[in-house]
A and B are shown apart, each in its own frame.
Chain A
Amino acid sequence: MQPATPSRIDAEPLEGTIPETESDYEARGNTMRPTTESGRDRFATALPGLGHDFTTSPTPAVAGAATGTIAWTGSDRGEKLARALGAFSIGLGLAQLLTPRQLSRMVGLRPNTRNTTVMRILGLREIGTGIAILAYPRPRAWIATRIAGDLVDLALLGKSLVRGSKNRVKTTSAALLTLGVTALDIATTELLTEARKAPSPELAPGLRETKVRDSITVEAPVDEVYAFWRDPTNFPSFMRRIESVQDLGNGRARWQTSAPGGKSIEWETELLDDVANSRLAWRTTGHAGGRDSGVVTFTPAPGGRGTVVTVELRYAPPGGKLGAAFLKLIRKEPSQELAESLRAFKQVIETGEVLLSDATVVPGPHPARPPTPEELGQLRGRTTYPSPTGRRQATGNR
């Protein structure tokens, strides 16, 4: 099967993946097709000449398959641009630092002490950002820093236009130039972001998919581990944020979690693939149709040392990119959430429950001292064992 808008076909799938065949795809009665207009394609159209070398692999991924068969290898353009911007930063910064008077005049300002000092400070910032962009292997964050810098520059220029400019034409041209550079910075950030996250074929246009993958080794035989994962009602025991799961039969399940603000979120999943003692795959159905999917594979660890469980989740974060950024801000980054869920799963399989420490009983920073009864209440009694005796009265300390 060909992608609907073939750009250049890349014969190499992502490393370590096995492309599914079309017949596998059809055999499940899956009729979803890649959209013709992924976010990237639109972007490529918007910026001709920047996006043409993005490549897709020939076999699109089915939702829920562990194959990840859309391969974008177009990060080169973004990185070249980033390097150019880094060099530009350093050049401009040096000029600002060494010849602040000339530069002040160029943007239509008086070369007085105040203006040249600001110019020098801005120069230092530019040099720092430039070095960071060139020195770090993944410069995306530093390009973003440049955008912040651009905004500062624009604000300063705007302020001078209102008061202080002795040549409005020069100041306005400088502001327009800065705007252009800002656009370039944003474009570069986009390019670098896109290179990291491949859009999923079944997503609505503009929705970007997040993929997280992690694995863990547990001291238990493969069949036991598989059976544990095959029963969705086991999930709340190790996924902190899942409140309940109801098994609807035929591989379907209803999940429930609570969102901030006490609202409850529900969704349903269906089993896409079930190979005993080897592999399970789900995806969400209903209004969230096909947005989120997960694959778990089970392999015996070498030397009879238990079972390796590998989980791959793909989903469009609620609220799109902004939502993802927000989740990251509050430290609920998908990859960390997955890692912690897997660790909790290991504890449940190996020891029967998730271990609590004094500091981790409640979310957020908490000193390593026993929780108060109110703090304990937040646990909702799920993972705790209630204290059976009234020892506290006996000690008379409270």
Chain B
Amino acid sequence: MLANCWMGVGKTEVREVPDPQILNRRDIIVKVTSTAICGSDLHLYNGFVPTMLPGDILGHEFMGIVEETGPEITHLKPGDRVVVAFPISCGRCGQCKRGLYSTCENSNPNAWLAEKQWGHSPCGIYGYSHTLGGFAGGQAQYVRVPYADVGALKIEDDSLADEHVLFLSDIFPTGYMGAEMCNIQPGDTVAVWGCGPVGLFAMASARLLGAERVIAIDRFDYRLRIAREKCGAETIDYEEVDVLEALNELTGGRGPDACIDAAGTEAHATGPLYLADRVKQRLMLETDRPTALRQAIMACRNGGTISVIGVYAGFIDHFPMGAVMNRSLTIRTGQTHVQRYMQPLLELIQERRIDPSFVITHELPLRDAPRAYEIFNRKEDNCEKVVLKPWN
């Protein structure tokens, strides 16, 4: 089969690789009909996530048709249409039973690697480094899905196109969890750093959860425009104005009630601290570049919540802990517990309360994946979200 493989920093290649096979009893093999490039794939692409090997198949957002099922899979049969959650979760360990699927205790065969980096191991993730299991990703014609009884959601409503439901695999639940962690009260103002697809879903979800105002922060006009037009956000271009001043002005000097960091480790910014971060990152003195996170903390109202859904890999400097402590801030974060949100969010889509396809700007065949990564990484051609079609 064909698959998009990581071949080094800034390089992917569509290659012929062996087809996947059932390896465990709760596996299924999915013939991928649609897959997407995630903003967090860019962290791999740009080399900010360690333990990648040339030849690793990328991709953790995908859906398709069940091709084959393992002997313990009873709720699915070949021919069923499924969306797959990006965290691989057993559904039976203590963490899964608590609904914390992305911290499953059984799904990372390389848990020892993750323990060295992070103390304990989270779940395995498709196509997301060997630290997170070394699972082949879904930017391919076929993919093996372990624990499919927990991770694969059957889509029975044929009136829904792939584009409507594909993002249940990651970015819609991720944006939604980002908003949910803010514990939004009626009348709240929520600020979101980053107008990428996850940021947009966080804004849309904040609205669904009752936020009165949403403020979007980015530097790309086209992205800020989508935030204004599709999510009803007020927008701040951080290259034009001072973000803290602008937020204070917009919120009567108090700051937003909740701040969502949907930018993560590759946040851009202006000023000397940002330059220092870039230098340190190059010299391997700091693994992550937390400019959005720092701003979010400084901006937030006293007693407010910082919700971090952007991906971080390691260590950050100049973390304003004094602001967090003295101003009673709450930080909530995590890889998304997608399995928890898929069914309820599917219902929102079926009720036509949200159409997730609004983020898509590009649809390309899988064989164009290397070009798609370039466009998406450089924010060329007003690129917001790329969907890849493995069989076109």
Cβ contact within 8 Å between B112 and A392:
no
Given the known inter-chain contacts A351-B92, A353-B24, please indicate yes or no for A369 contacting B106, CB distance below 8 A.
no
Asked whether A306 is an interface residue with its Cβ less than 8 Å from the other chain, the reply is: yes
The 9 A-B residue pairs whose C-beta atoms are closest, nearest first, are A359-B134, A367-B55, A370-B20, A368-B56, A360-B109, A358-B136, A368-B134, A387-B21, A356-B23
B301 interface contact, C-beta 8 A: no
Looking at the assembled complex, report how far the CB atom of A346 sits from the nearest CB atom of chain B, in whole angstroms. 7
Q: Please, which residues of chain A bring their CB within 8 A of the CB of B56?
A: 359, 367-369
Kindly specify which of B64-72, B206-214, B282-290, B363-371 makes contact with the partner chain: B64-72
B110 within 8 A of A: yes
> Beta-carbon contacts of A101-144 to B below 8 Å, as 1s and 0s?
00000000000000000000000000000000000000000000
What residue in chain B is nearest A389 (Cβ atoms)?
A: B68
Q: Is the CB of A392 within 8 A of B134?
A: no
Interface residue? A361 (CB, 8 A): yes
- Seed contacts A305-B94, A336-B112, A346-B93; 8 additional CB < 8 Å A-B pairs: A347-B90, A350-B93, A351-B92, A353-B25, A357-B124, A368-B127, A387-B68, A395-B19
Measured in the bound complex, the distance between the Cα atoms of B98 and A305 in whole Å is 11
Chain B residues close to A by CB (< 8 Å): 1-3, 5, 16-27, 29, 53-57, 67-68, 70-72, 90, 92-94, 97, 105-107, 109-112, 124, 127, 130, 133-137, 141-142, 144, 146-147
Q: A369-B56, A370-B21, A391-B19 are in contact. Are A360 and B134 (CB under 8 A)?
A: yes
Would you call A385 and B23 a contact (CB within 8 A)? yes
Quick one: closest B residue to A220, CB to CB?
B92
Q: Are A385 and B90 in contact (CB-based, < 8 A)? A: no
CA distance A355 to B105 in the complex (A): 11
The answer to whether A351 touches B106 (Cβ under 8 A) is: yes
| Cβ proximity bits A323-362 to B, threshold 8 Å, 1 near / 0 not | 0000000000000100110010011001111011111110
A-side interface size class: 35 or more
A286 within 8 A of B: no
Given A346-B106, A387-B68, A395-B1, decide whether A368 and B130 contact each other with a Cβ distance below 8 A: yes
Offer 15 A-B interface pairs, CB within 8 angstroms, sorted by A.
Answer: A219-B92, A336-B112, A339-B112, A350-B92, A351-B147, A355-B147, A357-B124, A357-B134, A366-B53, A369-B3, A370-B21, A385-B25, A385-B27, A387-B68, A391-B67
Residues of A near B94 (CB, < 8 A) are: 217, 219, 305-306
In whole angstroms, what is the CA distance A12 to B338 when docked? 51
Contacts of B17 in A (CB 8 A): 369-370
Check B18–A398 contact: CB distance below 8 A: yes
B1, B5, B68, B133: the one within 8 Å of A357 (CB): B133
| Contact between B22 and A385, CB atoms less than 8 A apart | yes
CA distance A359 to B55 in the complex (A): 11
Instruction: Flag whether A397 is at the interface (Cβ < 8 A).
Output: yes
Total inter-chain residue pairs, C-beta < 8 Å: 141
Closest to A301 in B: B94
A219 to B92, CA, bound (A): 8
CA separation between A343 and B105, bound complex, in Å? 9
The residue of chain B having its C-beta at the shortest distance from the C-beta of A394 within the complex is B67
Selected contact of A370 from candidates B71, B144, B146, CB within 8 Å: B144
A305 nearest CB neighbor, chain B only: B94
Q: Are B90 and A357 in contact (CB under 8 A)?
A: no
CB distance from A120 to the nearest CB of B (A): 27
User: How many Å from the CB of A10 to the closest CB on chain B?
Assistant: 34
- A372 CB-CB contact with B under 8 Å: yes
Contact B24 A355 (CB under 8 A): yes
CB closest residue in chain A, given B53: A367
Q: Is the CB of A359 within 8 A of B25?
A: no
Check B144–A376 contact: CB distance below 8 A: no
Known interface pairs A350-B106, A367-B5, A370-B17; A358-B134 also in contact (CB < 8 Å) = yes
B19:A392 contact, CB within 8 angstroms: yes
Q: Is the interface of A mostly helix, strand, loop or mixed?
A: loop
Across the interface, do B106 and A355 meet the contact criterion of CB distance under 8 Å? yes
**Complexed CA–CA distance, A386 and B16 (Å):** 23
Contacting residues, chain B, for A389 (C-beta < 8 A): 68
Cβ of A365 < 8 Å from any Cβ of B?
Answer: yes
Min CB–CB distance A395 → chain B (angstroms): 7
Alpha-carbon gap, A368 to B137, bound state (A): 8
Q: Does A371 touch B at the CB level, under 8 Å?
A: yes
A388 an interface residue at 8 Å Cβ cutoff?
yes
Measured in the bound complex, the distance between the Cα atoms of B22 and A371 in whole Å is: 11
User: Once bound together, how far apart are the Cα atoms of A395 and B93, in whole Å?
Assistant: 36
Residue pair B22, A387 in contact (C-beta under 8 Å): yes
Q: Are A352 and B25 in contact (CB under 8 A)?
A: yes
Contacts of A383 in B (CB 8 A): 24
Whether the pair A368, B19 counts as a contact (CB closer than 8 A) is no
Chain B contacts of A173 at CB under 8 A?
none
A369–B18 CB distance below 8 A: yes
CA distance A381 to B107 in the complex (A): 20
Residue A384 lies at the interface, judged by CB distance under 8 Å to chain B: yes
Please report which residues of chain A, range 295-338, place their CB below 8 angstroms from some CB of chain B when the two chains form the complex.
Answer: 305-306, 336
**How distant is B329 from chain A, measured CB to nearest CB, in Å?**
30
Cβ of B1 and Cβ of A397 under 8 Å apart? yes
The complex places the Cα of A365 from the Cα of B127 at a distance, in Å, of: 15
Contact B57 A360 (CB under 8 A): no
Contact yes or no, A371 B18, CB < 8 A: yes
Complex Cα gap A356–B90 (Å): 12
Within the complex, which residue of B71, B92, B137 is in contact with A385, where a contact is CB–CB below 8 Å?
B71
With a CB–CB cut-off of 8 A, which chain A residues contact B124? 355, 357
A369-B111 contact in complex given A384-B23, A387-B22, A387-B68, C-beta closer than 8 Å:
no
CB atoms of A351 and B90 under 8 A apart: yes
> Does A358 contact B144, Cβ atoms closer than 8 Å?
yes
When distances are taken between beta carbons in the complex, the residues of chain A under 8 Å from B25 are: 352-353, 385
Bound form: Cα–Cα A367–B56 in Å: 5
Which residues from A are CB-within-8-Å of B93? 219, 346, 350-351
B92 touches A357 (CB 8 A): no
Task: Tell me whether B55 and A355 are in contact (CB under 8 A).
Answer: no
Task: List the B side residues contacting A305 at CB < 8 Å.
Answer: 94
A251–B176 CA distance with the chains assembled, in angstroms: 55
Residues of B within 8 A of A350 (CB): 90, 92-93, 106
Q: Check A360 against B23 for contact (C-beta < 8 Å).
A: no
Cβ contact within 8 Å between A367 and B54? yes
**Residue from the list A340, A346, A369, A398 in contact with B136, Cβ < 8 A:** A369
Please name all residues of chain A whose beta carbon is closer than 8 Å to the beta carbon of B147 when the two chains form the complex: 351, 355
Q: Which residues of chain B are within 8 angstroms of A370 by Cβ–Cβ distance?
A: 17-21, 136, 144
CA distance A336 to B115 in the complex (A): 12
Once the chains are docked, how many angstroms separate the CA of A347 from the CA of B24?
Answer: 12
Residue with the greatest number of chain A CB neighbours at <10 A, chosen from B1, B3, B23, B70: B23
Q: A351-B92, A357-B124, A391-B67 are in contact. Are A398 and B134 (CB under 8 A)?
A: no
What is the distance, in angstroms, from A337's C-beta to the closest C-beta of chain B? 11
Q: What is the distance, in angstroms, from B169's C-beta to the closest C-beta of chain A?
A: 18
A280 to chain B, nearest CB (A): 23
